Amino acid sequence: MKQENLAFIFPGQGSQKIGMLADLHSAFPVVKSVYDRASEVLGYDLWALSQEGEQEDINLTERTQPLLLTASFAMWQVWNELGGPQPSYMAGHSLGEWSALVCAGVIAFEDAVNIVRLRGKYMQEAVPAGEGAMAAIIGLDDEVVASACEAAREQGEVSLANFNSPGQLVIAGRKEAVQSAVDRCNEAGARKAMLLPVSAPFHTELMKPAADRLSKDLDSVLFVNPSLPIIHNVHAQAEMEPDNIKSIMLEQIYKPVGWVACVKSLTTLGCDVAIECGPGKVLAGLVKRIDKGLAVKNVDSPSLISTAIESVS
């Protein structure tokens, strides 16, 4: 049964942690099955990595991306196994958009696991290690941060990369330019402006080579019409044509993540409840600052998923 007011939202990098989904894995055999399928594609034991690896291992981009996609898809499978109602819309934050594509039936899970592994690899390789950077800027208006980036461009490429919530932005680019923009944001009165522990400048024009490489891999991957609309990061609208979706998922690599606009689109479309289908509560925190009218429920444990289904059914 479809719930008109229900959305599913899928987190991106930053939600991973050692030990995630352990209780769901113990309670639902389908979780083990999903991780086994991913491990077959990757050639290593993804579940063991998520439970017994080091945090620095799961923070490697080409491992983080399949790890989070697999976690989200496993949780979606549990939701359906328990008879949870179907959402009317989906949206994902950066990598999470690929999770949404899989859950909406646009792309086969195994194909997506391989694609996001390559996506992570190409994004990491697009700019040599140590040359790129990302920084979080908290407490300034978008226009002030954009001006700081503009002024810092004499040091190299730097631009807005993530519109996470009002007053919470991420900038990215060449390391020297990002540091210069951070300094300018601090001078402008930012509550916090700091470099993030990420070595590649995601969602900037510097990622265009990664998109070009991934384009060749996507040529042989089947995309079909989504079973329900997905609100995309690039323009906060739905795309229903497979070729358009494929194109926009390449653009998404080097264009900013418009998460604020995505959440506002969901609420405009009538959604007032969202399920964060992934480990942790990163998106719940962002949504609360964007629109308190959209209540977010987390489902990364058996008790939470049961409670969420009960509350929205």
Domain boundary among 162, 181, 199: 199
CB burial of 122-133 (b: ≥16 within 10 Å; e: otherwise) equals bbbebbeeeebb
Of 289, 231, 288, 234, nearest to 87 (Cα)?
231
In a domain, 178, yes or no: yes
CA 214/CA 250 separation, integer angstroms: 7
Q: What is the pLDDT of residues 233-273, one digit of tens each?
A: 999 999 999 999 999 999 999 999 999 999 999 999 999 99
102 shares a domain with 251: yes
Of 122, 123, 136, 127, nearest to 174 (Cα)?
127
In a domain, 42, yes or no: yes
In a domain, 10, yes or no: yes
Q: What is the CATH number of the domain that holds 259?
A: 3.40.366.10
pLDDT of residue 1: 64
Q: What is the pLDDT of residues 123-140, one digit of tens each?
A: 999 998 889 999 999 999
87 shares a domain with 217: yes
Domain boundary among 199, 218, 245: 199
172 shares a domain with 140: yes
Does residue 203 have an active-site annotation? yes
The range of the structural domain enclosing residue 139 comes to 132-199
215 shares a domain with 121: yes
Runs of H (alpha helix) within 82-165: 96-103, 109-126, 142-152
pLDDT of residue 110: 98
pLDDT of residue 198: 77
Domain boundary among 199, 215, 239: 199
CA 157/CA 160 separation, integer angstroms: 11
149 shares a domain with 112: no
Q: How far from 168 is each of 15, 97, 141, 184, 194, CA to CA, in Å?
A: 17, 20, 9, 16, 12
Q: Which of 72, 94, 99, 180 does the annotation list as catalytic?
A: 94
145 shares a domain with 110: no
Residue 172 β-bridge partners: 134, 159
238 shares a domain with 114: yes
CA 28/CA 37 separation, integer angstroms: 15
User: Two tokens at 201?
Assistant: 């400048």
In a domain, 246, yes or no: yes
Say what the pTM is: 0.95
304 shares a domain with 220: yes
pLDDT of residue 129: 82
Query: How does residue 276 score in pLDDT terms, banded at 50, 70 and 90?
Result: very high
Does residue 25 have an active-site annotation? no
CA 181/CA 153 separation, integer angstroms: 8
142 shares a domain with 44: no
Q: What is the pLDDT of residues 180-216, one digit of tens each?
A: 999 999 999 999 999 987 768 999 999 999 999 999 9
Q: What is the CATH number of the domain that holds 171?
A: 3.30.70.250
168 shares a domain with 269: no
Q: Which of 15, 203, 232, 265 does the annotation list as catalytic?
A: 203
pLDDT of residue 55: 86
In a domain, 1, yes or no: no
151 shares a domain with 113: no
192 shares a domain with 49: no
Residue 81 β-bridge partners: none
In a domain, 195, yes or no: yes
In a domain, 24, yes or no: yes
Number of domains in the chain: 2
Of 189, 66, 290, nearest to 47 (Cα)?
66
Of 64, 179, 88, nearest to 131 (Cα)?
179
